Structure 1
Amino acid sequence: MGQIEVFSPAKINLFLSVLGRMENGFHELVSLVGQVDFGDTLRIEVEEASAASVELRCSDESLPTDRSNLAYAAAEGFLLRSGLNWRVRIELEKRIPHGAGLGGGSSNASAVLRGLSELAEDAGALGLSRGERLELAAELGSDCPLFLEKRPVVMRGRGELLSAVDRSLAGVEIVLFKPSFSINTGWAYGSLIKRGDCYDESAWAEERLAAWRDGGMSTGELLHNSFEKAAFSKYVAFDALFGKLREKKVASLMSGSGSCCFSLVRSDSEANEVEGLVGECWGERAFVQRARVLG
């Protein structure tokens, strides 16, 4: 009946300030997030059926293909809420490493919602409104709503409150790099609770964002991640590499709860230098990818 190919971008947190725990148990945060031109590809095919169903195939055999995969859960949620009796087949070509802090699973979920919405519109069917997509995305995961936007956003609350960014980040060049190990998100948040010295003051976070937005601070100066203190204290591999990057005056940061990091680069020679340092410190098993910020 219809098919579509959807790009599912990775994201980076250029500023991630965790403020503390809310009464509902979630952590409150303020974060400037940009999507990049590196990511996964989803091919979605739908056809009319007597009952709604979802089938997911993934190029990465280590990932689940049932409802524990957010792409599957997003399709199932879309069908349930829209009432469409469609057989949905999804082929997910993975490039974004998992356990990286790049939002791969959340991006896949939102890509499914965008793709199914477009297919419903093409078929003249009643899918989900923008508000309903945002609500479903928030239920699927804190990072999912941001991927329904096509430009950088500031996330607040637990990630469901989004606001537009006036200052353009389009075309900013980065080098992504991830060590051979991942960081468990649960461990990362648990470490913040246990340590107690990683939380930021809301006023401080908002003042820094305002200074950056108004042009009083460069993007490199803005870079901050509340998770770095805990992660760097456990994994010495970070300090070894970041020490060399600081010597070269290359603005660098861990993204999300890790373990992927990125450097802002201004030239091919600087990108080559970063890649060389990553190889020197982390070896051949490290993931390295050049990219640009979208929107």
Structure 2
Amino acid sequence: MRASLFTCLLLAPSVFAGDLHQATRATLLEDARFTREAVLDRIQQLRFSFREGEPEDGQQPYWARTYASHGSADGPGAAPSRERTVSGIALGSERWVGDWVLGATAGLSRTELEAGSDDARLDGYQLGAYLGTKFYNQIGFKTGLLLDSHRVDGHAPAADARGGQLFGELSYSLDYRDFSLEGFSELAWLRQDSERQADVASQRDELLQATFGLRGTTAWTLGPDQRLVARVIPAWRRNSGDRRLGDEDGAGEAQLARDVIHLGLMLDWQLDQALSLGVAYEGDWATESRDNGLALRMSLKY
């Protein structure tokens, strides 16, 4: 009995560190979507239905998007649930090359994560490039590459995590005078490398995300060079690959949802040809997780 109790006391710190480590891995994979969504939305605003005007000679377009989100997820089996709050900013700029939009982005983020009785802070930055176009005024194509790096500070010694993702989207739109309907399919491949932390080994995780949805867009003219553009985006996302995260020695476990329902609501206000402001709501729901967030954006040409 004494030996068993002594063994449990020795293993407890490793198990708790494992819970936090696996929750961190899951959070990094889940939250990789924020910069990706910012990039895809930006291309949408530049090249697709009810788009912003092209910059005039001598003008350079810039954009910024800030976001904040709160989410929680149940742990598999006896594993603890996790809860996180993330906030960040993404900045970018583009150039037109014929009918193509070619851009670059950089971002910063901070995540506060709780897994059971343990917690950690994740400070990250993101860099990426993207491009998009529309063929025959109906077939849309977007793609991009994003790299990220995070510093993880928790009860265990600080560790680093690095990752990247390659993504693309195909869409087909039916455009009318006052509204547009666009079906789309998106595919993203993600990889994350997490350093060894305390008694938990380093890990490499790979995830494939397929998203299928519909965009509904409409606009209201307010005055010369002024209008409101609203978008509604219901979608379904399927995660495959490293969804169930854990170590061979059983030190902690976390899980990503297989099927996620997504809803995006966006409203952009074009003040004039050079300045636009926008607000967006993003919600994700699954059987074992839920997430709600807001984003603000600004687009400027000068």
Q: TM-score range by the shorter chain?
A: under 0.3
Report the TM-score when normalising by structure 2: 0.24
**Structure with the larger strand share:** 2
Asked which structure has the greater RCO (Cα within 8 Å, sep 6+), the reply is 1
Question: Which has a greater percent of helix?
Answer: 1
